[in-house]
Structure 1
Amino acid sequence: MDAAVFNLKFLAKVFKKKSARCEKNSQSEIAKMKKAIKAGNMEVARILASNAIRKKNESVNLLRLASRIDAASSRIETAAQMRQVTESMARVVGDMDRASQKMDLERMTKIMDKFESQSEDLDIQTEYMEGSMSGATALATPQGEIDMLMQQAADEAGLELSQELGIVRAPQEEPLPEEDGLNERLAKLRNTS
């Protein structure tokens, strides 16, 4: 049983690494998408956003699968421990039977303390196993997520994204005070000529 638990834990570790790789690929696609938005190539940016979201979802699904495999290995470990606890409890019951025949209250108290301790350990292990289980759900790439990711990337890059026109414009910069003075003097010179 130890080999099965080891194999499952190894498999969970492999899926966690694959999940991390997918997350890295998602970040790479986001960086490419930002460049495409800056270049004004909205179709390419949309494709890259879709790829980024798909890779992110793949990462989450692999992480869920790793968690489920880890939970399965925990179940197997718990089952083995429960078997050991059952054997131990059988010994405790035998000890209690012998102690009750002799009416040795001190020994019966020690046996009950040991029994309660083992029961608490089993309860903790069962809670942990149940807490680690979660169902995997298939994730799609909705258009709203793609648009939201593209808008976020445009905001981070300091670009204005106009989805209606499908074009990217750099935000308008306000002229510096020195330039205002130069522009005013140039306008006066033009008017006087």
Structure 2
Amino acid sequence: MGNAEKLMNQIMELKFTSKSLQCQAQKCEKDDKFQKIRVKKSIEKGNMDNARIYAENVIRKRNEQMNYLCHSSRLDVVVARLDTQAKMTTINKSISSIVKSLESSLNTGNLQKMSGTMDSFERQFVNMEVQAEFMESFMAGSTSLSTPED
């Protein structure tokens, strides 16, 4: 149980860090908009030197925002993989106990118990397949979001 708790704590910390990065990206976006307004006002006043400086700030803030979002996306992928690992560990433990139960059913010849164990075994596999499909689609979506457009 200790390893499972550590893994869940790591997942929560990574989720928190990802949210923090997203908040930083939002702050950069707000600052970006503010700097754009300053550029516009400076151009209207005819002060091109200040407009150039503010425009550089806009570009810098935009790049900073994209970096925060990229790192957040990467952390989300790591969290998804760790979450999958935690679920697979749980499923492996369940399957192991089911196999032991099935083995004891086979040894005693109790068909009802064996049938119930097999049904439980099939449910575990169906659950595992659904989780695997979900994680594959999530991974495909998250990696396509983190891939640069150019």
Counterpart residue identity of residue 8, structure 1:
L
Point out the more displaced range, 64-73 or 23-32.
Answer: 64-73
Q: Identify the residue that residue 60 of structure 1 maps to in structure 2.
A: 66
Letter in 2 for 1:66: S
Matching of residue 126 in structure 1 with residue 121 in structure 2: no
What amino acid is the match of 1:132? S
2: CA distance, partners of 1:9 / 1:85 = 23
Change (3 A) 1:98 1:131: farther
Q: Over alpha carbons, which structure has the higher Rg?
A: 1
Range that drifts further, 90-99 or 61-70? 90-99
Say whether the 8 Å CA contact 2:88–2:128 is kept in structure 1: no
Instruction: From the superposition, tell whether residues 113 and 124 of structure 1 become closer, same or farther in structure 2 (CA, over 3 Å).
Output: same
Give the number of the structure whose residues are more often helix, by fraction: 2
Alignment pair present for 1:84 and 2:94: no
CA contact (8 A) 1:5 1:76 kept: yes
Residue aligning to 1:5: 11
Deviation at 1:69, TM superposition (A): 1.5
CA RMSD, Structure 1 to Structure 2 (Å) = 2.5
Q: TM-score scaled by structure 2?
A: 0.75
Relative to structure 1, the CA distance from residue 88 to residue 72 in structure 2 (aligned partners, 3 Å threshold; closer, same or farther) is same
Q: Is the 8 A contact 2:39 2:50 kept in 1?
A: yes
2:81 corresponds to 1:72 = no
Identity level (%):
28
Structure 1 pair 39–60 and aligned structure 2 pair: CA distance change class (3 A) = same
**1:123 positional shift:** 0.8
The alignment's TM-score, normalised by the length of structure 1, stands at 0.60
Tell me if the contact between 2:98 and 2:117 (Cα under 8 Å) persists in the aligned partners: no
TM-fit CA distance, 1:106:
4.2
In structure 2, the CA distance between the partners of 1:20 and 1:83, relative to structure 1 (3 Å rule), is: same
1:45-79 per-residue CA deviation (whole Å, 9 max, x = no partner) reads 23222211220121111011112122222222221
Amino acid of the structure 2 residue aligned with 1:94: K
Residues 67 and 87 of structure 1: is their aligned pair in 2 closer, same or farther, counting only changes over 3 Å?
same
Q: Which residue of 2 aligns with 1:16?
A: 22
Structure 1 portions without partners, runs of 5+:
138-193
Q: Structure 1 residues 86 and 7, CA, compared in 2 at 3 Å: closer, same or farther? A: same
